[in-house]
Structure 1
Amino acid sequence: MSTVFLRRPLTAAIALSLLCPLPALSTEKAAEDKPQQTTRYSLDTVVVQGRRSLREDVITDQKSRAVIEQEMVRDTRDLVRYTTDVGISDSGRHLKGFAIRGVEGNRVGISVDGVSLPDFEENSLYSRYGNFNSSRMSIDPELVRAISIVKGADAFSGGSGALGGRVDYRTLEASDIVRAGNETGFLLRSGYASKNREWVNGFAVGYAGDAFETLLMYSHRHGHEMDSRGEGPYYQYDKSQHPDPSRRKQDSYLAKLRWHISPEHSLSLALTGQRARNFTDERSYTLFGSQWREAEDISRRSNLQLGYAWLPESDWLASLKLDGDYQRTDLTALNYKGGRNYTTQEKELGEVFDRRMHTRFKRLTFGLETLPLALGASQHTLAFKAFAANREFWNINYDTYVLGGKPEPQPAYAIQYPVDTRQYGFSLEDRVQWNTSLSSRFGLRYDHERLTPQALNAPCSKACTAEGRPAGNTFGNWNGLASVVAKLNAHWALGATVSTGYRVPTASEMYFTFQNAYGSWKSNPDLRAERSINYSLSLQGEGEAGGVNISLYQVNYRDFLFEQESITRTRNPYYEQCQAWGCAEYNESPVQQMVNLDRARIRGLEFSSHLNLAHYWPQLEGWKLSAQLGYSQGSLSSDNSLLSIQPLKGILGLDYHAPSGRWAVFARGTYLGAKKADDAQVVQNVYSYRNRTFSQVVKTYPYLNRRAALLDIYGYVRAGERFTFRAGVYNIFNRKYHTWDALRGINAHYGASTTNSVDREGYGLERFHAPGRNFSLSMEYLF
């Protein structure tokens, strides 16, 4: 046993930090408990900064504003850097959200202040060529006060899309800027990250008076492509060993106003938005000959929220709220393509593809919550919510061909029918405090959604109108959760949860059509919603010595949407004339269609712990040891593997906080496990030129990551009460490694993909390496 631990110091350290608090937790007297330790297991959750909270619904990793600043979170990659069992959906130019509990992309919900960000609309035809902006939108972390990463099905809170989990962002309030005892506050912040040579600058102004609260914040960032530790002599086409050069720019804003009309009544107004541009010289673009492409991805988002709240002096009613939400999003991809001059090799523009996806969302929500109501010996806090919403989606494209140096704009067109979605639903919730040791939560929610294709907003080619205007579809989904938290003693609590999730198919999955002799895509208006059910069991301990969290879970998925490829055979009408030359009697062509086919099951465990070393050695005041581990495995009912399941990940932390509170330093060692071949099987239809037929084979995904160990060190120094300087060095030992998220996003269609692809020899894998040693700096002045 000791030999194994010497060979595996990470395992030993994790075990030490996990086990050391146990004796102290079991021997401390209940009389010595602090009030906050008691309420931690009560019905109302107390959020501990940067740690997991044991809630009555699902396991949630909370990141407060302090943790976001401390870890210098600048994007979604930074957000999951020190979080286990959570990854990102990476497809090169475009990030498509998160991967949680074995699912990714649209199967993980994302919301900003309670408003869900739209699913990305994409099909496998256009994803191979990169002519559309298929990004999943996010929000600048500079505008965020808290982030909740919910692990497990949670349609009760998140609605459609929270199949495997959700990520909720909460924007800043005036109280985050205004210091205690003041009415006004100002914030100036600037930062730099070497991994993508990005600068972030922002300011905020806040006012918090008796009658009004206001906040105005602006953030600007500009940078370049993500760096890579890869190296080599090749810079062009899918053989390129270096990241495609890019220039990024993003402007974000946040404005809030709250009017306290009286102690009982208030009105609120919030406006937030962003505009981002990313111009990429796609040197890795591969079509034929010396063809080239430069792409500019543009995203715009604007949210408007109006709210009314009534907090009456009542014996039973705690609050009544009415909210209105409006959201507009635009995703644009401008693609500049052409060849090269035969003699000078200079680029010559041949065409410009302007492809745009738009959504518009409107919602009205009514909610009320009661005070705790006595029913026998138990206390019940009831909540009711009802909503009605409308979502519109449409596509419009503007192409220009350059002939003899002269631009020739083409008529606008669409690739599919616009879709209008009407939604309404309600939810009921009961939080129960049975006694001082036992609490529970029960919830029931119904969502009704009707998707209706509209008349074409622009001409569409015969390839997309061959099936005619498709029929609409209606989805009615009941979801719920049931959970219980038992406080075993003054320091330990046990929680169990059953929750469900669902996802309604996107407009592209249901209605996209395309017909071609070399491959077709058929619509399927009869698709069913994907469903999931999550079971979790959690044990949590908290005391003066430290804390421990252990979670076991299983998630069952059914009616998984899968793009099924079938082969159609049509007799060659010229067979009699050409059979002497060996032509095939039948022509075979692949047909793609989304179907509800697979079932899946994911099982896993997570644990985290932190140990206050001063509890055992008083001379180590301010030192803390922490550890996290996440592991999951799963299977599909078909021969495919769920590639979005994260490999093993472990994190070991050592922190020091100076007793003065003026400075602190944090060290994080991260172990990234390798993806095993048995867990990365894919089914492909392979064409045989000898037999002139397709056959189905099961292969190992060609790009698997190796295990890696990384070390980061970061910290902060405060000069007075107003100025804070932060710095961090990441991948200190300059380790060369791939992440599984980067590799599984590669387009593995040899010869059939022009973007985010790799040559057959594998030289192009070099550009997918993670950044080498890099640093971040941040300066903040709050006054």
Structure 2
Amino acid sequence: MHAGHALAAEPQAAESVQQQSADTQSSTAAESVNPQRARREEALKAVSVTATRGGTADPNRTAATVSVITSDDIDENNAKDVKDALKYEPGVEVRRAAYRPSGITGSSGRAGNEGINIRGLEGNQVLLLEDGVPLPQSYAFGSGSAGRGDYLNTDLYQRIEVLRGPTSALYGSDGLTGAVNFVTKDPSDLLAIYNKPTYFSLKAGYDSTDRSWGSTATAAFGGDVVQGMIALSGRHGHETDNKGESNTLGASRSTPDPLTYNNRSALGKLVFKLTPRDTLKLTAETLSNANSSDGLSQLGGAYTWSGYTANGYVTGNEVNSNRVQLDYDHRDATNPYFQQLHASLYYRNASTRQTLDISGANASGATSARSRINDYGDNILGGSVVADSAFSTGVLQHKLTYGFDASVSHYSTASSAGGEWTSSADGYPEAFPKTTQTALGAFIQDEIRWNKLSVVPGVRFDYYDMTPHPDATYEAMSASSTKPTSTSTGNAVSPRLAILYEVSPAFVPYVQYAHGFRAPSAYQVNSFYNPAGSYGLYYQQVGNPNLKPETSNSVEVGLRGKLGVGHGQVNYSAAAFAGRYSNFIDSKVVGGSLTSATNPYTVQYVNYSKASIQGLEGKADWYVNDALEVKGGFAWIHGTETKDGVTSGLDTVPPLAVVLGVKYAPTERWFASADLTYNSRKNKSQMSSSSYFSTPSYTILDLHAGVNITRHVSVTAGIDNVFDRKYWIWNDVRGLADGDGAAKIDAYTAPGRNFNVAMKIDF
């Protein structure tokens, strides 16, 4: 169902682009000419793969809004994680709530970088891939909350490709509103820097937002036949700073709770150039992220249960991921049937474990404890084959892209609450049974050109089957459920049609229609939880085998081009889009009473709502001359959601965002840049509840600079939020209520003035 090959469909084409880029850097190292324009031009050529899932194409002939964040961008901004890497992309956000868990069900911040929001939708509604391999799904239960962004390490990426708009016609499920692919570095990327058979680099840096130190060591070797690389990366840090000032115990605490984290990852690749036309690549990657926190905001009488007051509140998170991938590429322009073919086979296993330990005492001095352990496992084995065929029929030129994907995923969960849960013999129930999901997909897209006109029809068929494997524990738990476990199957047809007309390179209007879908998650189809009155209340969660896939229908009208202005050049794009989303899956109370043992309060995932999202977005990059670059962009999105006939604002839609940046780099030796970020106020009329806290507007100034001390040693540094502005990011704090009080609201503020610095040595 997912894109086995995904956004970086043609590594050799990308390698060629990156080789040219590296050659440009090498040839101009001693000259006072900035290669920034050449690098950006080459990056844009690589991005075109995102929208076509085939070989490279002219971005001005692409009917989609695409963006790229290169490794140069990541290094120059000292981006320590995916939230930093994407912060200058309007309309694209990474949600990360303040780490402030509460009670035995509060999970605020435990998902870390939860996922990526594109055009107002997020979570599992956005397709996230790493080298074409789907990232694990997000999942939440009780005090546990597993996100998606913590499976990523920006130090390993050659580029991040962002495609806005439904992507199901090429990639299948989850692409309701966009896709992001994180493309890791290849040996050729590194060896081309100095055109030598070996390469080594060591990068180390500090970021004051969380007092973190990070370092990455990379080595590569190879020649014309065999190439290899290994990258080792780690970061150690603490809680993320905010603008809170109350450093006390309990609910009045507004400063962050103490936290310590350790992140480690490793990436290795071997590339075999079997013939001038055939390449085989083996990739192995492992990642381990862990943190622990002392919840001081829950002490001092803030959290009590059954007469006990908490005097200790400790949480722990551990995220692990291992990936192995084998890619085969064939390129032969003389082949009469297909000129490019990519085949991929991959396996990823990922897990999240989250713990909570609470200790307390009552008025008489007696002690008690509560604990929670939540485990989530997400494994996938998959593969894909994608081919390109170019041919002509009369005056029409065709570029046919076609292929298929297949995957088998296995999901599992387990939760423990010590002696509080007694419904199973071994003490830990599963929120949903172990589930195997099989997904098959096939697609075809034809880019038909006639002079300046391009028509791009495409269609994809997907089939999925979810089969639960309940063990004795789960069967004992769910024996009383009104919705017994069952299989769930479904299919979807996802069409797409785009039309472009290149009036001139400076003026290329386009229009496209696309359909998207997202299959239900395993825990939404089959789930059961019933504490059987253990807490004096009677409630349960039950599954729903009749869930339909979420769907979207989107229309986009856009304009893009590149034109000369004075001695420079402007690349620009603008788009207006509108989408209708149906069968949104959400939890809903379907009956029962909290006081009834025979008819408990019942919650179920149902196709509960529909949504409407419209917006405008645009971006421009002006290379004024060889030394000066000015860039800017904006995204305005409006969304509504309708539940049970009642329409309100869609909370996941961010307010108006505008970015403006200036970069000055007169020589290869140094650069300096300034970036302004503006977000408007989030109006209560655009929320689902008027009781929510309305985030004020803000404007943030960031400054960055870098210098090449020698050819092999460089230093970059930055000051973010230069004027120490107190502000809140809507999607990080949404759901926070006016009635929560000033202390809690201040606890969710973004960092104040902060700085970062890094040094890189390579040769």
Please state whether the residue corresponding to 2:234 is helix, strand or coil.
strand
Structure 1 residues 503, 54: closer, same or farther in 2, change over 3 A? farther
Query: Partner of 1:116 in structure 2?
Result: 134
Distance apart, 1:233 and its partner CA: 4.9
Structure 1 residues 349, 275: closer, same or farther in 2, change over 3 A? farther
Distance apart, 1:446 and its partner CA: 1.0
In 1, the alpha carbon distance for the partners of 2:110 and 2:326 equals: 35
Query: Partner of 1:26 in structure 2?
Result: none
Distance apart, 1:59 and its partner CA: 0.9
- CA offset digits 1:264-296 (Å, max 9, x no partner): 333221111201101111223453153242111
Structure 1 residues 458, 519: closer, same or farther in 2, change over 3 A? closer
Amino acid at match of 1:377: V
Identify which of 654, 673, 686 aligns with 1:646: 654
Would the aligned equivalents of 2:137 and 2:378 in 1 still touch at CA under 8 Å?
A: no
Distance apart, 1:355 and its partner CA: 2.0
Please state whether the residue corresponding to 1:737 is helix, strand or coil.
coil
Identify which of 430, 454, 465 aligns with 1:414: 430
Distance apart, 1:235 and its partner CA: 3.3
In 1, the alpha carbon distance for the partners of 2:50 and 2:580 equals: 28
In 2, the alpha carbon distance for the partners of 1:547 and 1:77 equals: 25
Structure 1 residues 335, 202: closer, same or farther in 2, change over 3 A? same
Identify which of 477, 497, 500 aligns with 1:482: 497
Identify which of 635, 638, 641 aligns with 2:640: 635
In 2, the alpha carbon distance for the partners of 1:278 and 1:37 equals: 37
1:72 equivalent to 2:78? Answer: yes
Would the aligned equivalents of 1:604 and 1:630 in 2 still touch at CA under 8 Å?
A: yes
Query: Partner of 1:319 in structure 2?
Result: 340
1:339 equivalent to 2:360? Answer: yes
Query: Partner of 2:25 in structure 1?
Result: none
- CA offset digits 1:595-641 (Å, max 9, x no partner): 11322111110122233445xxxxxx623333211111121223342
In 1, the alpha carbon distance for the partners of 2:410 and 2:704 equals: 44
Query: Partner of 2:21 in structure 1?
Result: none
Query: Partner of 2:668 in structure 1?
Result: 661
In 1, the alpha carbon distance for the partners of 2:170 and 2:295 equals: 40
Query: Partner of 1:505 in structure 2?
Result: 520
Runs of 4+ aligned structure 1 residues displaced above 6 Å come to 34-44, 341-345, 570-573
- CA offset digits 1:673-731 (Å, max 9, x no partner): 1100100123xxxxxxxxxxxxxxxxx14222001111111021112322111101000
In 2, the alpha carbon distance for the partners of 1:222 and 1:41 equals: 34
1:430 equivalent to 2:451? Answer: no
1:303 equivalent to 2:323? Answer: yes
Please state whether the residue corresponding to 1:742 is helix, strand or coil.
helix
Instruction: Please list, as runs of the form range in 1=range in 2, the aligned pairs for 1:580-729 lying within 5 A after superposition.
Output: 590-614=601-625, 622-637=627-642, 638-658=646-666, 660-682=667-689, 700-729=690-719
In 2, the alpha carbon distance for the partners of 1:326 and 1:764 equals: 42
Would the aligned equivalents of 2:398 and 2:447 in 1 still touch at CA under 8 Å?
A: yes
Identify which of 770, 776, 781 aligns with 2:750: 770
- CA offset digits 1:108-165 (Å, max 9, x no partner): 1111010111212225xx1xxx245455543100011111122111112332111111
Identify which of 484, 489, 496 aligns with 2:511: 496
1:555 equivalent to 2:571? Answer: no
When Rg is computed on C-alpha atoms for both structures, the one with the higher figure is 1
Structure 1 residues 282, 134: closer, same or farther in 2, change over 3 A? farther
Would the aligned equivalents of 1:225 and 1:244 in 2 still touch at CA under 8 Å?
A: yes
Q: What runs of 5+ residues in structure 1 fail to find an aligned partner?
A: 1-33, 403-408, 574-586, 615-620, 683-699, 749-757
Would the aligned equivalents of 1:298 and 1:332 in 2 still touch at CA under 8 Å?
A: yes
Please state whether the residue corresponding to 2:140 is helix, strand or coil.
coil
Query: Partner of 2:406 in structure 1?
Result: 388
Structure 1 residues 45, 455: closer, same or farther in 2, change over 3 A? closer
Would the aligned equivalents of 1:47 and 1:62 in 2 still touch at CA under 8 Å?
A: no
Structure 1 residues 464, 771: closer, same or farther in 2, change over 3 A? farther
In 1, the alpha carbon distance for the partners of 2:156 and 2:124 equals: 23
- CA offset digits 1:9-65 (Å, max 9, x no partner): xxxxxxxxxxxxxxxxxxxxxxxxx999999999994999xxx95563421121122
Identify which of 38, 60, 66 aligns with 1:60: 66
- CA offset digits 1:753-776 (Å, max 9, x no partner): xxxxx9743421111000000011
Amino acid at match of 1:153: P
Please state whether the residue corresponding to 2:524 is helix, strand or coil.
helix
Query: Partner of 2:373 in structure 1?
Result: 354
Would the aligned equivalents of 2:538 and 2:596 in 1 still touch at CA under 8 Å?
A: no
Distance apart, 1:466 and its partner CA: 2.6
Query: Partner of 1:737 in structure 2?
Result: 727
Would the aligned equivalents of 1:311 and 1:319 in 2 still touch at CA under 8 Å?
A: yes
Identify which of 518, 538, 541 aligns with 2:561: 541
Distance apart, 1:566 and its partner CA: 4.0
Query: Partner of 2:383 in structure 1?
Result: 364
Structure 1 residues 264, 541: closer, same or farther in 2, change over 3 A? closer
Distance apart, 1:400 and its partner CA: 4.6
- CA offset digits 1:392-435 (Å, max 9, x no partner): 11123455569xxxxxx964442321111111121112122322
Instruction: Please list, as runs of the form range in 1=range in 2, the aligned pairs for 1:40-51 lying within 5 A after superposition.
Output: 45=48
Structure 1 residues 39, 146: closer, same or farther in 2, change over 3 A? closer
1:455 equivalent to 2:476? Answer: no
Amino acid at match of 1:327: R
- CA offset digits 1:221-240 (Å, max 9, x no partner): 11011100121254324x32
TM-score (norm. length: structure 2): 0.84
1:93 equivalent to 2:107? Answer: no
Amino acid at match of 2:622: L
In 1, the alpha carbon distance for the partners of 2:271 and 2:204 equals: 28
Would the aligned equivalents of 1:464 and 1:514 in 2 still touch at CA under 8 Å?
A: no
Query: Partner of 1:226 in structure 2?
Result: 240
Please state whether the residue corresponding to 2:529 is helix, strand or coil.
coil
Distance apart, 1:80 and its partner CA: 2.6
Amino acid at match of 1:355: N
Would the aligned equivalents of 1:89 and 1:745 in 2 still touch at CA under 8 Å?
A: no
Distance apart, 1:541 and its partner CA: 3.1
Distance apart, 1:219 and its partner CA: 0.3
Instruction: Please list, as runs of the form range in 1=range in 2, the aligned pairs for 1:565-584 lying within 5 A after superposition.
Output: 565-568=589-592
Distance apart, 1:451 and its partner CA: 0.6
In 2, the alpha carbon distance for the partners of 1:507 and 1:71 equals: 39
Distance apart, 1:76 and its partner CA: 2.5
Amino acid at match of 2:441: G
Please state whether the residue corresponding to 2:87 is helix, strand or coil.
coil
Would the aligned equivalents of 1:41 and 1:487 in 2 still touch at CA under 8 Å?
A: no
In 1, the alpha carbon distance for the partners of 2:39 and 2:352 equals: 46
Distance apart, 1:316 and its partner CA: 3.5
Amino acid at match of 2:71: R
Would the aligned equivalents of 2:435 and 2:468 in 1 still touch at CA under 8 Å?
A: yes
Instruction: Please list, as runs of the form range in 1=range in 2, the aligned pairs for 1:202-221 lying within 5 A after superposition.
Output: 202-221=216-235
Please state whether the residue corresponding to 1:229 is helix, strand or coil.
coil
In 2, the alpha carbon distance for the partners of 1:323 and 1:596 equals: 34
Would the aligned equivalents of 1:54 and 1:495 in 2 still touch at CA under 8 Å?
A: no
Identity of aligned residues (%): 21
Structure 1 residues 724, 37: closer, same or farther in 2, change over 3 A? closer
Amino acid at match of 2:620: S
1:253 equivalent to 2:266? Answer: yes
In 2, the alpha carbon distance for the partners of 1:511 and 1:152 equals: 30
Aligned residue pair count:
684
Q: What runs of 5+ residues in structure 2 fail to find an aligned partner?
A: 1-36, 52-57, 98-108
Structure 1 residues 444, 632: closer, same or farther in 2, change over 3 A? same
Would the aligned equivalents of 1:396 and 1:458 in 2 still touch at CA under 8 Å?
A: no
Distance apart, 1:338 and its partner CA: 1.3
Structure 1 residues 349, 301: closer, same or farther in 2, change over 3 A? farther
